[in-house]
């Protein structure tokens, strides 16, 4: 049995439990569930922001800056090759 199947079967069992159904109707609990579901995204964005802030403070290039620089270098290499071929 895969993890997905196990989660689905446990979810069905939980959904049929009257105590859980009553809990699901509580707006405070649902707000808590929604906050918990949003937490991984918040942590990821916070981590990304902190990483970028640290890189700027240390004078390091960000991934976006490195990617842009690689594109520029590639474009310049193509331009040099084109100009060399036209001689």
- Domain ranges for the chain: 3-85
Condensed to tens digits (0 to 9), the pLDDT of residues 25-76 reads 889 988 998 998 888 888 999 998 998 889 889 999 888 889 999 999 999 9
> How far apart are the C-alpha atoms of 73 and 69, rounded to whole Å?
6
> How far apart are the C-alpha atoms of 35 and 42, rounded to whole Å?
10
Place of tokens 């906050």: 35
pTM for this predicted structure: 0.47
What are residue 21's phi and psi, to 5 degrees? -60, -40
């Amino acid at each position: 049995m895969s993890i997905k199947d196990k989660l689905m079967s446990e979810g069905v069992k939980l959904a049929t439990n009257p105590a859980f159904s009553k809990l699901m109707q509580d707006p405070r609990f649902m707000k808590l569930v929604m906050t918990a579901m949003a937490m991984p995204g918040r942590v990821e964005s916070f981590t990304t922001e902190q990483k970028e802030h640290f890189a700027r403070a240390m004078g390091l290039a960000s991934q976006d800056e490195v990617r842009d620089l690689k594109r520029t270098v590639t474009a310049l290499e193509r331009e040099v090759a084109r100009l060399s071929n036209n001689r």
